[in-house]
Structure 1
Amino acid sequence: MATERLVVIGGDAAGMSAASQARRLKGPDELEIVAFERGHFSSYSACGIPYWVGGDVPERDDLIARTPAEHRERGIGLRTRTEATEIDVAGQRVRSRDLESGTDAWTGFDKLVIATGARPVRPALPGMDAPGVHGVQTLDDGQELLDTLARTSGRRAVIVGAGYIGVEMAEAFIKRGYEVTVLNRGEQPMATLDPDMGRLVHRAMDDMGITTVRGAAVTKILTGGDGRVSAVATESGSYPADVVVLGIGVEPETTLAGAAGLPLGVHGGLLTDLAMRVRGHGNIWAGGDCVEVLDLVSGRERHIALGTHANKHGQIIGSNVGGGYATFPGVVGTAVSKVCDLEIARTGLREKDARAVGLQYVTTTIESTNSAGYYPGATMMTVKMLAERRSGRLLGVQIVGGEGAAKRVDIAAVALTAGMTVEQMTALDLGYAPPFSPVWDPILVAARKAVTAVRGAG
């Protein structure tokens, strides 16, 4: 039997999980594996970069799960500092460029995995490419940012955008002793929450000494005589900056895939079937931040850039490439974050998401504590719950609060995946002891109130 060749584009979570799983199932005599990674690193936690920048994670290498050398020892031909520049679907080959020597080469494939990830949104505004302006998506990006901080004596940081990356980087700079300004185009930070819950995050950021500017549409990056960033200009004023971090969000990196004619969705991500195979192409798979996935609650495709999904995609792809069988059914949109001591969580639909797909709903909001109120150290949390009118089906949950708030969202994520109603949730047998929860867990309190709202709505 002739040896097949698998080519993987992308050396992080999805790509190397796929390569590693395929290697477990097929040896080098059956499957040759070649992987291209344009950066210096492989299999690292991009989600951990803000905590490395902030000093919670002491060393860069603490974020690396498996080095390029370790992958090579396991029979995977990982080529770092090598960028894939073209996919020839009909010819079953990939063109790549060695970024050190500048030489190009074609590599044929029998099977192809596209795991090109996502790229930070970088608006086409004057000065956006000036030294001192950083996106933070890869480990190389994080290293470049830290190198800039080491060379810069000023202590003023401006964060453009107040999503997950924005608030996490704001915390990182507060911990480094910087004066931090967050410029947010919306009215409240964390647009993944409803505005009433985002208001709680805004209030907490203010209390932490973070200046959050609402309705701040950036118009350009101002530079000094040395060409470096000096300020960020908005429609209403400018804000001095020694370093700027873009936290506007990310978009699928599908430039190669689009140029090759592969199918893209409304969010710009690759479209796959349940086995993570690119639609219409029997020997091409895709996973991670470059794909769109099915939202199990709304029934629509969406783009979610999370390492949890990327690793699952890689395992599924590797199993299918290696001759096994696995599927990825979809997501419910669960995400957690924090800014200093405030924990932030969401799963399922926001109010505007429910309206967009034509769902009628009720909402309830409750305040509770993470432990029994009499137990020392009890902290407050706010839980917001959305349920479908009439049926009572759970549609979404958002939580903002102190220690122990964020991971409670996992209860709601399981309920959403199971298609439970809020009335069914009230009977969940959750763990209780005074150090961990009140007698009625906050999730159950919110569910009970949601049941009343559903009944009241007829």
Structure 2
Amino acid sequence: MSPSRERLVVIGGDAAGMSAASQARRMRGPDELEIVAFERGHFSSYSACGIPYWVGGDVAEREELIARSPEEHRARDIDLRMRTEVTELDIEGGRVRARELDTGAEAWTSYDKLVIATGARPVRPRIPGIDAPGVHGVQTLDDGQALLDTLSATRGRRAVVVGAGYIGVEMAEALINRGYEVTVVNRGAEPMSTLDPDMGRLVHEAMTGLGITMVDDAEVTKILTGADGRVRAVATTSAEYPADVVVLGIGVRPETSLARAAGLPLGDRGGLLTDLAMRVRGHENIWSGGDCVEVLDLVSGRERHIALGTHANKHGQVIGTNAGGGYATFPGVVGTAVSKVCDLEIARTGLREKDARRAGLQFVTATISSTSRARYYPGAADMTVKMIAERRTGKLLGVQIVGREGAAKRVDVAAVALTAGMTVDRMTALDLGYAPPFSPVWDPVLVAARKAVTAVRAAG
């Protein structure tokens, strides 16, 4: 390495890591900045969010989920080393130790600047049988391929999904689409713990209506196996549910074992803590982004772990700009997320009731039923909107939406309002688009805002 040329080392070859590497390369050419990236899997720069739709058959080919191949990155003067896992960080020495997974060869690589984009790992409860053949977590493209291989080799058509969060409901849909009998075993009282229970109940009813067996308030205690060692059932404290395949949809945790071992600062959820420039706190030349970090919630003012590709790509752009000598910041999030199970759309942004209580806020709620279009227009579909507003000021705190076609993306209006710090009273005057094929004359979000204004005034 030339004395005048810096080296940027990136750990992780997906959204945040390779966005950072690509942006840094745009900022500085190979004569000024050498970029070395390590990825332990077989694939780079892919859409993990698209895996359930690939598994379910909506996306025909795996390659459709890959935004940029290793060869394409290398053609842009990024030394991307696949199937290579970083096993140790030497922060004082400014180097990382990496092992080639296919050969076992190990070597140290020095860096001037470091990006940690190690992502998240699926939660795997410590119960008997959890590692049995036929039990799958779904976080990476390798995980998705392993699940598809199992589905292709399995004769039985019974699937159990453990967990009913975003991953769980999306995988339930994928398995329904593949013709499986699906049982969802959920620890909570209702599916989708990212919603308040009254909105989660709507999801439960819709999933049951789709032929999915919902088992709520159930703790999985054991994965039962047959004589061949493969999974045959999922056991709870009170019942057993036959299974030819099990998918873990319990959620993910930040993959920060390397950072923890190196003594880097972690938050309450185990994610790396960064400043607004995505620089790891207390370390001038180390950045981190994607599913391994905690970010500022602009509504509650607290740090949160949110694993979403949208955030990861934005983090990467900010990191690459700063590592390349420019300046950029990531101010935080309001917690917007959308999902679906078959034709049911689910959306939320901002705080739930329990989040608001935890933040010490007093609030009112308003829940309304409306339709996606004018009721008389063909195809109008029902939706329910719940809005949470601060009791004293009327400031918007959160919105949840459950409905059919046209429901989920309406949450974007609320996300903008949250980011702007709007009150529900101010929201009622928003000049939203109207025509009978697209909306009632009062959009459902505005109807909810009007009802929230009434609740705020009634609360004094």
Alpha-carbon separation, structure 2, partners of 1:238 and 1:82: 40
Residues 293-352 of structure 1: CA distance to partner in whole angstroms, max 9, x if unpaired? 000000000000000000000000000001110000000000000000000000000000
Q: Secondary structure at the match of 1:65?
A: coil
Alpha-carbon separation, structure 1, partners of 2:453 and 2:420: 18
Q: Secondary structure at the match of 2:291?
A: helix
Within the candidate set 344, 350, 353, 1:351 is matched to 353
Q: Secondary structure at the match of 2:114?
A: strand
Q: Which residue in the other structure is 2:211 paired with?
A: 209
Within the candidate set 287, 292, 295, 1:293 is matched to 295
Cα deviation, residue 390, structure 1: 1.4
Give the letter for the 1:175 counterpart.
N
Q: Which residue in the other structure is 1:157 paired with?
A: 159
Residues 86-140 of structure 1: CA distance to partner in whole angstroms, max 9, x if unpaired? 0000000000000000011000000000000000000111110001000000000
Name the % identity: 82
Q: Which residue in the other structure is 1:100 paired with?
A: 102
Matches within 5 A, 1:243-254: 243-254=245-256
Alpha-carbon separation, structure 1, partners of 2:229 and 2:99: 30
Within the candidate set 179, 182, 200, 1:180 is matched to 182
Alpha-carbon separation, structure 2, partners of 1:24 and 1:261: 31
Pairing 1:228–2:230 present: yes
Q: Which residue in the other structure is 2:325 paired with?
A: 323
Please, which runs of 5 or more residues in structure 1 have no aligned partner?
A: none
Matches within 5 A, 1:27-426: 27-426=29-428
Alpha-carbon separation, structure 2, partners of 1:347 and 1:377: 26
Q: Post-superposition, which runs of at least 4 consecutive aligned residues in structure 1 deviate over 4 A?
A: none
Q: Secondary structure at the match of 2:200?
A: helix
Cα deviation, residue 234, structure 1: 0.4
- The CA RMSD measured in Å over matched residues stands at 0.5
Cα deviation, residue 403, structure 1: 0.3
Alpha-carbon separation, structure 2, partners of 1:90 and 1:455: 58
Alpha-carbon separation, structure 1, partners of 2:211 and 2:26: 50
Within the candidate set 450, 453, 456, 2:452 is matched to 450
Alpha-carbon separation, structure 1, partners of 2:196 and 2:105: 50
Q: Secondary structure at the match of 2:334?
A: coil
Give the letter for the 2:224 counterpart.
L
Cα deviation, residue 150, structure 1: 1.1
Within the candidate set 4, 7, 13, 1:5 is matched to 7
Alpha-carbon separation, structure 1, partners of 2:73 and 2:50: 21
Give the letter for the 2:206 counterpart.
A
Give the letter for the 1:15 counterpart.
G
Cα deviation, residue 216, structure 1: 1.0
Q: Secondary structure at the match of 2:272?
A: coil
TM-score (normalizing by structure 2)? 0.99
Please, which runs of 5 or more residues in structure 2 have no aligned partner?
A: none
Q: Which residue in the other structure is 2:436 paired with?
A: 434
Residues 233-279 of structure 1: CA distance to partner in whole angstroms, max 9, x if unpaired? 10011111000000000000000000000000000000000000000
Give the letter for the 2:371 counterpart.
T
Give the letter for the 1:172 counterpart.
A
TM-score (normalizing by structure 1)? 1.00
Cα deviation, residue 63, structure 1: 0.2
Cα deviation, residue 364, structure 1: 0.4
Alpha-carbon separation, structure 2, partners of 1:19 and 1:39: 17
Alpha-carbon separation, structure 1, partners of 2:392 and 2:91: 49
